[in-house]
Structure 1
Amino acid sequence: MGFSGIGRGNSGMTDEGKGLTLLVVEDNNFQRAIATKVLEDLGCECVLSAADGDDALRQMVAHPDPVHIVLSDLDMPGMDGVEFLRHVAEQKLAGTVVIASALDSALIHTVEDMAQEHGLQVLSNIEKPVTRDKMRRVIEQYRKEDRARNPEKWSDSFSEEDIIHGLDNNEFEVWYQPKVRMSDGAWVSSEALARWNHPEHGIVFPARFVPVMEKSGIIDQLTWKQVHEIVEHLCQWQREGKDISVAVNLSPTLLEDMDMPGKLEEIMAHHGVSTCRMTLELTENVVMRNMARSLETLARLRIKGFSLSIDDFGTGFSNFQQLNRIPFSELKIDQSFVMGLGVKESCKTIVLSNIELASRLGLKTVAEGVETPESWHELKSMGCDYSQGYLIARPMPFNKLAAWEKDWRQRYQSLTK
């Protein structure tokens, strides 16, 4: 408002780490050797290793190429991992770190926060021993976040003109990721997501075009085009007797458009679709440049019957102020906390606290990033209302939803046994 298959050779080597330089900082010789071998087997371009922070810093300074990811223990002789990460940040020797430690999860979380405050990007920490699957997920997360932070590096030089041409030729599509009710597995809503069906590049994901559109001021053109398509889909579901709503991400510029609530209501009325069928999602970190105008827009949307959802809850610093000022009807629990269930005790506490907070405020809760049956059952036991994630469905075109629904009904039955 990706993912790709990886081929394997006969040697067991893969190419997930192609082009990457990683540094392993670990005082245990055996653990360090295992981690190094795992990264080499994943095809990393260069794998450095060090027994402590001092040795690691010397190698990073001497190495001719940048280190993409630092995998560091915390409890080491000499310079420990906490001091080491501070030096890495201050000397700008690397931008991304992963903590691999057997220490208490609360302490690890504190160090992660410290590293982020120093300007380092922190990927999900991993428990020892380091395995191929764990590091494969780390590398996938690094690639994904690198695409989001540096879209120009991955965008094949998509220009404003390229994107406008795509808009004019109706190459952009609405894909949906279903949300289901946890009490009975019913499909109740879908989040609308933009995809560019490029004639040469195939399906292009938002990280490769949204930043360009936002910078060029044309993001709202895409939003309004997609709104018309979404309302047509809502109309079709309504004719089929399906009680489905759609969540649409709201851009900061639209928040300042005083005509937006009326225009959106008019489009839905034209198709005979109730405004209660649309939820407008507002990310917690969105910067409201004109607070008075934004609050007016949000208030008028609620008056007209639209639902408002606060997305990525818990990832910013203004969350409680946002909840106090804006008439939200739904709270989406960020996937970083959901994926941490069963790994970090603090994540479980945060998720449960968010569900209880939402309940006290009269808000429904949606858990994002639900990928395992274990997460599903834990969230259900906590009283979460709705669930969204790869366990339920990946994003898909409109015409794939009917087949997905049939498959999901069967999988839900096995999930509840």
Structure 2
Amino acid sequence: MTDEGKGLTLLVVEDNDFQRAVAVKVLEDLGCDHVLSAADGDAALREIVAHPGKVHIILSDLDMPGMDGVEFLRHIAERELAGSVVIASALDSALIHTVEDMAQEHGLQVLSNVEKPVTRKKMRNVIDQYRREERVRNPEKWAGSFSKEDILEGLNNNEFTVWYQPKVRMSDGAWVSTEALARWQHPEHGIVMPARFVPVMEKADIIDQLTWKQVHGIVEDLCGWQREGRDVSVAVNLSPTLLVDMDMPQKLEEVMAHYGVSPCRMILELTESALMRDMARSLETLARLRIKGFALSIDDFGTGFSNFQQLNRIPFSELKIDQSFVRGLGVKNTSRTIVLSNIELASRLGLRTVAEGVETPESWHELKAMGCDYAQGYLIARPMPYAELGEWEKDWLKRYPKLV
């Protein structure tokens, strides 16, 4: 017996007695604190309700008598009985992915599905994934929230910094661009991610204070790269509030001119939701930015409902392929079709393409074969402070030849 499952309670929902017994034994051997089991959805619901503690992971079949796995997943989501689920089924993979998408839409955390039979290696990977995602969701193990006053104090103390995630050209691996990402170096809670403070700042109407502070730092870094002779651009995420600021294009141009950096070195990334706040003002702002030489990138392409209309209206220069499609390349035929269609569409429109969330060599090779221009993701680099980019580039230049 090992202790990989220590502290966890898992529930196995499987109508086949032998397969259910095997899965239970595997989880017990991995050291799980509690392993519950049930033969169908109805029995599983009763098990969860009767158990005094939290059920961390549910391993469920789909095709079962009585309440099947699809209905069961809906019930646990609606009643908030568990947060993480794993589908273990011999059904068609396309059907399994449809059910996984349904579960995610219901708010459940869906871990990698498991092909039968259940083995120790497969469940060890599931538990590892659960713990990794728990660390991402709760990096500081702190349940509080930040107020407007907390954030303003952090701004006044210059605690907010810029981290960079490099993008590389797929044809030769060259570092050509980098996305600027906000980080809060909190004196008590360490590195705080944007999801913890950006919504508060937008609601309190102080996001512009952070944006302009960061813009000055970013352009100063661009100036440094320019002095080194590096042909590197920086992508900056635009807040919806900036899109309706009629003075923003002129102010941004003045900042670039102050540091002697051409506007073509800055890529402004925006999502469809940002555009929808005030379309008329947004279109004016974006037109003026393009006139001044800034590049525009549409982010999260394919995840909204009217992206094609935005492509027709706005002079974009870049299309970012959402990481949800990139990560699905190896497991979903639909993801592959969507990614390939987006790359072909961008090519016909004269736009360069950037694939987000590139995490495996397999994804890299498939995207390159499709004709994608640039890649960004953990395979290449995680976000990092400016000072670490030099060492990263040395390491990347050693890794790239092995990758290709």
- With normalisation by structure 1, the TM-score equals 0.87
**Contact kept in structure 2, 1:180 and 1:388, CA below 8 Å:** yes
Aligned-partner Cα distance in 2 for 1:183–1:338? 18
One-letter code of the match for 1:275? P
**Contact kept in structure 1, 2:296 and 2:315, CA below 8 Å:** yes
Q: Please, which moves more after superposition, 303-312 or 84-93?
A: 84-93
Pair 1:190–1:290, CA change in 2 (3 A): same
Counting aligned pairs with the same residue, the percent is: 76
In the other structure, the counterpart of 1:81 is: 69
In the other structure, the counterpart of 1:6 is: none
Secondary structure of the equivalent of 1:131? helix
Aligned-partner Cα distance in 1 for 2:310–2:16? 46
Pair 1:65–1:285, CA change in 2 (3 A): farther
Aligned-partner Cα distance in 1 for 2:43–2:36? 11
Pair 1:219–1:91, CA change in 2 (3 A): same
1:99 to 87, 94, 100: 87
Q: Please, which moves more after superposition, 258-267 or 287-296?
A: 287-296
Does residue 275 (structure 1) correspond to residue 263 (structure 2)? The answer is yes
Secondary structure of the equivalent of 2:337? helix
Pair 1:139–1:346, CA change in 2 (3 A): farther
In the other structure, the counterpart of 2:377 is: 389
Q: State the 1:199 CA deviation.
A: 2.4
**Contact kept in structure 2, 1:258 and 1:293, CA below 8 Å:** yes
In the other structure, the counterpart of 1:135 is: 127
Q: State the 1:298 CA deviation.
A: 1.6
**Contact kept in structure 1, 2:319 and 2:346, CA below 8 Å:** yes
Does residue 167 (structure 1) correspond to residue 146 (structure 2)? The answer is no
**Contact kept in structure 2, 1:334 and 1:368, CA below 8 Å:** yes
Pair 1:12–1:22, CA change in 2 (3 A): closer
**Contact kept in structure 2, 1:210 and 1:219, CA below 8 Å:** yes
**Contact kept in structure 1, 2:111 and 2:129, CA below 8 Å:** no
Aligned-partner Cα distance in 2 for 1:46–1:305? 60
How many residue pairs get aligned? The number is 399
Q: State the 1:71 CA deviation.
A: 3.2
2:108 to 113, 121, 126: 121
Q: State the 1:248 CA deviation.
A: 0.7
Pair 1:359–1:223, CA change in 2 (3 A): same
Aligned-partner Cα distance in 2 for 1:339–1:172? 30
Aligned-partner Cα distance in 1 for 2:308–2:12? 39
In the other structure, the counterpart of 2:174 is: 186
In the other structure, the counterpart of 1:207 is: 195
Aligned-partner Cα distance in 1 for 2:185–2:47? 45
One-letter code of the match for 1:58? R
Pair 1:64–1:299, CA change in 2 (3 A): farther
One-letter code of the match for 1:123? V
Pair 1:220–1:38, CA change in 2 (3 A): farther
Aligned pairs for 1:370-381 within 5 A: 370-381=358-369
Q: Please, which moves more after superposition, 91-100 or 178-187?
A: 91-100
Give the gaps of 5 or more residues in structure 2.
Answer: none
**Contact kept in structure 1, 2:160 and 2:184, CA below 8 Å:** yes
Aligned-partner Cα distance in 2 for 1:357–1:228? 35
Q: Please, which moves more after superposition, 192-201 or 395-404?
A: 192-201
Aligned-partner Cα distance in 2 for 1:158–1:45? 34
**Once superposed, what is the RMSD of the aligned Cα atoms?**
2.6
One-letter code of the match for 2:290? R
**Contact kept in structure 1, 2:268 and 2:295, CA below 8 Å:** yes
Secondary structure of the equivalent of 2:296? strand
1:13 to 3, 24, 40: 3
Secondary structure of the equivalent of 1:351? helix
Secondary structure of the equivalent of 2:65? coil
Aligned-partner Cα distance in 1 for 2:19–2:289? 56
Aligned-partner Cα distance in 2 for 1:65–1:291? 49
Q: Please, which moves more after superposition, 333-342 or 317-326?
A: 317-326
Q: State the 1:294 CA deviation.
A: 1.5
Aligned-partner Cα distance in 2 for 1:154–1:287? 34
Does residue 299 (structure 1) correspond to residue 287 (structure 2)? The answer is yes
1:322 to 281, 302, 310: 310
1:110 to 98, 102, 116: 98
**Contact kept in structure 1, 2:103 and 2:110, CA below 8 Å:** no
Aligned-partner Cα distance in 1 for 2:217–2:124? 42
Q: State the 1:350 CA deviation.
A: 1.9
Aligned-partner Cα distance in 1 for 2:302–2:273? 10
Secondary structure of the equivalent of 2:94? helix
In the other structure, the counterpart of 2:397 is: 409
Aligned-partner Cα distance in 2 for 1:213–1:415? 41
Aligned pairs for 1:347-358 within 5 A: 347-358=335-346
Pair 1:332–1:163, CA change in 2 (3 A): same
Aligned-partner Cα distance in 1 for 2:287–2:23? 53
Aligned-partner Cα distance in 1 for 2:193–2:78? 34
In the other structure, the counterpart of 2:388 is: 400
- With normalisation by structure 2, the TM-score equals 0.89
**What does the per-residue CA deviation read over 1:306-351, in whole Å, with 9 as the maximum and x for residues that have no partner?**
1111212222333323323322211111212212222222222222
Q: State the 1:134 CA deviation.
A: 3.1
Secondary structure of the equivalent of 1:390? coil
Aligned pairs for 1:190-269 within 5 A: 190-269=178-257
Aligned-partner Cα distance in 2 for 1:255–1:320? 20
Secondary structure of the equivalent of 2:89? coil
